[in-house]
A and B are shown apart, each in its own frame.
Chain A
Amino acid sequence: MALDFATLDIKRVIVHDIPSRPTTGASTPMLSDVESPLNDELKLYLKEKITQSATSSAAFDVILDTTSTSPVPNGILSFVTPPGTDFVAFSQQVANHLYQTQTGVNTKGFLVMVDCTIQGCPSLGILKVEREAGIRVAPKEVSGKRTFLIERIRELMLTQGTKVFKVGVFRHRGPGPADLDAVVCDLQRGQVPKYEVAVFFLSRFLGCRLAEAPEITTKRFLESTEAFIRDQVSDPACKARYQIALLAEMNSRQTIISPRAFAGTHLDIEDRKSYMDHLESRHVPNQPIPKDLALVKTRIQRMQMDFASGVSLIAPGDVFSDKIHLTKQENGLTRVDFEDQVSDIRGRR
């Protein structure tokens, strides 16, 4: 069930300062003993920041990994299940775990724990945000003349420019421990899936994994999109254009497939909504999909177009887009223009 972030209601927030772990020497986290004071303006600001990140193209549906050695999953379940656990003590436990989990490659920053409700259900936000710096400007009179004092501020986080950051949001819709909806945003995860840093936040720290194996979601996206093109697009030229775009999307170096972005970039405006509805009806997530081609590798290398007469055209996607031109005729038939050099002719194997 999708989390409705419009209903996110922040109750309490606690912040802990987590330094990076030096390869030599020592450092220790600076832990808060009490929650941070909050006002309404700050609550709304944090709410918007969390929404922005958790609904971005770097956010994925996840589940708690029961095989994980991280204490976070059990801690989350105990906290969001009534009567809950002590917020401060739990947050300190998570902060210590974060510090222990980090290696030299992880940047220092703040752990922000947010006690909240979403759609009225007990929920928890875990944010790992980096320390930022900026310049403060304030008017001042010096020797009777106006000037602006500028000062470097190093204790900033979640500034206006911070659009996406590491965050996990967990909602307990109850009553069982399995009734947990969770989403994790981690920009690094999609970018460099093979490196340790990519699994650090989701797996090692939060003890979560993707809700569905990426290779299965990728396959479902491909098949559903092909079905949409086949069944709901009537113009052959349009069909070809969409199919070529789909192959290009699958073969690109991007490690995330965003159905919304695909629709927005490649489909005509009148097809976008019906395409998204079609994906939803086939349970393809509205959210970005981590691309894993393990189950579809062979079928995305070439594209085939069949005609009523029995003629078939098979070609790599890029060749199709460069060399083959389709025009819809007034009589309803499609004209195919293609110019090339014959290199071989053979019977079908």
Chain B
Amino acid sequence: MTGLAELRAYWDGERPRYESFARYVHDRVAEGLRQIGIPCEMACRAKTLDSLLKKAIRKNYANPIDEITDKAGVRVVLLYQDHRADVVSLIRSMFDLVTLEDAQERLGEAEFGYQGIHCQVRLKLEEIDEAVTNFTGFNCEIQIHTCAQHAWSETTHDLIYKPIVQVPLDVKRASIRLQALTELFDNEISRVRQQIMTMPDYKDAQVFTRLERAFYRLTHAGRVDVDMELSIQVINYLMPVYADSTSDQIAIELEGFVGDRREKLEYIYMCYQNDHRIESLFIHQPESLMIFHLLERDSFALVERWQEAYDRVFLEQMALLWGRSLE
């Protein structure tokens, strides 16, 4: 009891700091992922007092303050499992990586199960300055998993692995089937994505992928805000404006444009991130980068092509956001 009372008093005093620490780690990782263009959903939290006390009792820790390592937690939910390695690399470069557990590596060849990555991180000593001195010695657990793994973990994991009754064999088998399905789903998504990306006649994929990455890098848009089908439709439709350029050349040209105009683009996206007028609709889409590029490259050809399929009002608004008129 004494240990728990101490833990409670400690957590009453310290939780706000852990909450700030979790937010700090969250924001740094989110910015890093934005910079390398990885779309994801993120959340952060400091453990609640209830949850902390229960964990201390359940695990029977001798020194729960030190032994509970997920007092601050950040979750990164990825669209594609191919991005897992990129996220780990980013975390390594940003923080002092205390431990890394990849649940995938623990599974035998005939086993299915949870496949998230858990990283224990703390601030690099050389980076602790006045602004973050409050967080010295704090650990944060960053969990990385895919949408499918997240869905499984949020629902089935708790039902099966934190049971109050002995789960019958057929229910356990059902759970294993779900785990297998999760793995299958992620692998198939990756395989299909890779196949599509390498199809010779899918010439616009590279342009779309690069635009999408650049867009996430420049904005704070979540993946749910973007209508991918519209993006692909508009990008495919505008490709002929680049005349004889190949998709590779277009992608390179667009990357150059984004690099050269980075500051201006970031500013525009920041200004209009909360603008939900109908005419500003395209500013929330990755193809906005292509529209801006074409406004500079050949606005005549853009206007001509655009008007055949879409309302001119949208283009006029994009031109205005780019700081010019279409007159």
Contact = CB atoms under 8 A, between A and B. Distances in A.
**Is B truly associated with A?**
yes
Contacts of B324: 5, 51, 55
A269 to B, nearest CB: 6
B327 A8 contact: no
B272 interface: yes
Given A8-B323, A269-B304, A44 B268 contact: no
Interface in B271-299: 271-272, 274-275, 297-298
Given A7-B267, A55-B323, 7 more contacts: A7-B264, A7-B323, A44-B272, A51-B320, A260-B327, A264-B303, A272-B300
A40 interface: yes
Interface in A27-85: 40, 44, 47-48, 51-52, 55-57
B296 to A, nearest CB: 11
Interface in A8-42: 8, 40
B320 A52 contact: yes
A273 B243 CA distance: 12
A4 B292 CA distance: 14
B264 A6 contact: yes
Interface residues of A, number: 23
Contacts of A57: 327
9 contacts: A4-B264, A6-B321, A44-B271, A51-B323, A56-B327, A57-B327, A264-B303, A269-B304, A273-B298
Contacts of B297: 273
Contacts of A51: 320, 323-325
B187 to A, nearest CB: 43
A7 B324 CA distance: 11
B82 to A, nearest CB: 35
Interface of A: 4-8, 40, 44, 47-48, 51-52, 55-57, 258, 260-261, 263-264, 269, 272-273, 276
Interface in B152-200: none
A80 B40 CA distance: 44
A267 to B, nearest CB: 8
A29 B264 CA distance: 39
B164 to A, nearest CB: 51
Contacts of A263: 300
Contact of B274 (A6, A40, A261): A40
Interface in B309-327: 320-325, 327
Interface of B: 264, 267-268, 271-272, 274-275, 297-298, 300-301, 303-304, 320-325, 327
A1 to B, nearest CB: 13
From DSSP, what is the main secondary structure of chain A's interface residues?
helix
Contacts, number: 51
Contacts of B321: 6, 48
A114 B264 CA distance: 21
Contacts of A4: 264, 323
A307 to B, nearest CB: 32
A9 to B, nearest CB: 8
A206 to B, nearest CB: 21
A269 B301 contact: yes
A332 to B, nearest CB: 25
B258 to A, nearest CB: 15
Contacts of B322: 6
Contacts of B268: 6
Nearest to B267: A7
What 3 A-B pairs have minimum CB-CB distances, sorted nearest first? A6-B323, A5-B323, A272-B300
A55 B272 CA distance: 20
A258 B327 CA distance: 9
A339 B211 CA distance: 58
A5 B323 CA distance: 4
Nearest to B303: A264
A56 B271 contact: no
A258 B325 CA distance: 13
Nearest to A276: B300
Contact of B300 (A5, A6, A55, A264): A264
Nearest to A288: B327
Contacts of B327: 55-57, 258, 260-261
A48 B301 CA distance: 24
Contacts of A47: 271
A314 B322 CA distance: 45
A258 B267 CA distance: 30
A264 B303 CA distance: 10
Contacts of B264: 4, 6-7
Nearest to A274: B298
Contacts of A5: 323-324
B323 A52 contact: no
A57 B326 CA distance: 10
Contacts of B320: 48, 51-52
Most buried by A among B275, B301, B320, B327: B327
A57 B301 CA distance: 20
Contacts of B304: 269
A263 B327 CA distance: 11
A269 B323 contact: no
